[in-house]
Amino acid sequence: MKKIIFPLLALFLVSCNSAQNTSKKNATPQDFANTISAKQLKTMLYTFASNEMQGRMTGTAGNVKAAEYLRNFYIDHGIASPLADKEDYFQNIPHDYFRNLKDNKPTQNVVAYIKGSEFPDEVIVISAHYDHIGIKNGEVYNGADDDGSGSMALLEIAEAFQEAVKKGYRPKRSILFLHVTGEEIGLYGSKYYTDNPIFPLENTVCDLNIDMIGRIGEGKEGNENYVYLIGSDKLSQELHNLSEEVNKKYTQLELDYTYNDINDPNRFYYRSDHYNFAKHNVPIIFYFNGVHEDYHQASDTPDKIHYDLLAKRAKLVFLTAWEVANRENRITADKLN
Ligand SMILES: [Zn+2]
C-alpha cells in the first residue's frame, strides 16, 4: 500500500506547487480588488448598521459593540494589530480628551496593520469613522451610509490586502487600517491619532479617508458610476496623478472634483477625518458620495445602500492604496509651501 500511495502523494504535491506558482505569476491587483464583494458588504452592513449597535454614539455601549465587531473581523482574518500588545486592537482615548462628551464611557480607535516587505517604516493609512449619532427620541440612527459604508469598505479592503499576502504579494509599504471614533462630535478620533500616532507622521505616506460612499447624493440621481474626490491635489500632485491613473486603468468611475474647490461653501475638505492628517502636511484623498435626504436622519438605513456602487468605490480605494504601497518611490508632498 505505502509504495503505491507515496508516489501518488508526491505527484499531488508537485501539481499543487506548480498550480500555486502559476497563480502567483498571473495574479494582478485587479484579482485582489475583485475579492471586495457587494454581497459581503451587504451582509456585514446589515449587522453593523442594525439597531443592535444603537447608533454607535461615541462613549456609549453601542460604540464599544461596533468597535468589537471591527476587532473580531481582523482577528478572524488573521490581520495583526500594530500595537505593542498584538492582541489589542484598540487605541484607547482618555476621557479628558473629549471636552463635549456628556457620557464619560471609554471610547477607542480600532487599528489593524499589514507590515510592508521592503519599506516597512513607510505607512499608508486608510481611514473611516465608525461612530455615529446614537439614539434620539427613542429612534436609532443607524448611519448605514455615514459611515457604516466606509467602515465595511475598510474591512473589505483589509481583507483584499490580506488575500494578496496569503498569495505571496505582501505590499512593499505598510498599511494601517484606522477606524476612528468621535468623528460626529468633532473629528476627535483622528485628532487623537494624529496627536498620538502609532507610526511617526513623517513616515506616513498618505491618508485615504472614506466617509459615506454607499449612496447616490443630491444632484446625482440615476448615476451609478461616480464618486466625489476631495483634496487629492492639495498637498501632492503626484498622489492626484496616481489616483487618476489607477481609476483610468481599473475602475473607470467618474471622479467628480466639484467639492475640491477651496471656495466651495460646503467646506467638506475640513469636515472629515483626513483633515487632521492634511493639517500635518500628510497628503490625503477624501472619498465621498455627497449629501442626501437621509443624511443624519434615522432613515439612513442599510436597505438604501447601492451595494454594487459601494463595492466599486471600495475597489478604487484599494487599488489606489495598492499603487501607493507598491510604487518604487514614495510619493511626496510636492505642493508644500
Ligand atoms: Zn461621516
For residue 187, the CA-to-ligand 1 centroid distance in Å is: 9
- pLDDT by residue (tens digit) across 95-139? 888 776 665 667 999 999 999 999 999 999 999 999 999 999 999
pLDDT of 153 over the 60 cut: yes
Q: What is the mean pLDDT of the chain?
A: 92
- pLDDT tens digits, one per residue of 159-199: 999 999 999 999 999 999 999 999 998 899 999 999 999 99
Q: How many Å lie between the centroid of ligand 1 and the Cα of residue 276?
A: 14
Of 201, 198, 178, the residue nearest 110 (C-alpha) = 178
* pLDDT beyond 50 at 17: no
pLDDT at residue 101, rounded to an integer: 61
Q: What is the pLDDT of residue 262?
A: 85
CATH number of 27-326: 3.40.630.10
Buried b (16+ CB within 10 A) or exposed e, 262-293: eeeeeebbebbbbbbbbeeebbbbbbbbbbbe
- Measured in Å, residue 250 CA sits from the centre of ligand 1 at 27
List pLDDT tens digits, range 206-239: 999 999 999 999 999 999 999 999 999 999 999 9
Identify how many contiguous H helices and E strands the chain contains and give both numbers: 9, 10
Rounded to the nearest angstrom, the distance between the alpha carbon of 208 and the centre of ligand 1 is 14
Q: Which three cell numbers stand for residue 133?
A: 449619532
Q: Which residues have CB atoms below 5 A from the ion given as ligand 1?
A: 146-147, 211
Q: Which three cell numbers stand for residue 176?
A: 494601517
Distance 128 CA to ligand 1 centre (A): 8
CA distance 30 to 286: 22
207 prior amide bond cis, ω within 30: no
Q: What angle separates helix 38-48 from helix 307-326, to the nearest 10 degrees?
A: 110
Q: How far apart are CA 208 and CA 54, in angstroms?
A: 27
Q: What percent of the chain has pLDDT over 70?
A: 90
Looking at residue 249, what is its pLDDT? 98
> What is d(CA 288, CA 150) in angstroms, rounded to the nearest whole number?
9
Alpha-helix runs per DSSP H in the chain: 2-26, 29-33, 38-48, 61-76, 150-166, 188-195, 237-246, 274-278, 307-326
User: Ligand 1: distance of its center to the CA of 204 in Å?
Assistant: 23
pLDDT in tens, 249-292: 999 999 999 999 989 999 999 999 999 999 999 999 999 999 99
Match 506558482 to its residue by C-alpha cell. Answer: 21
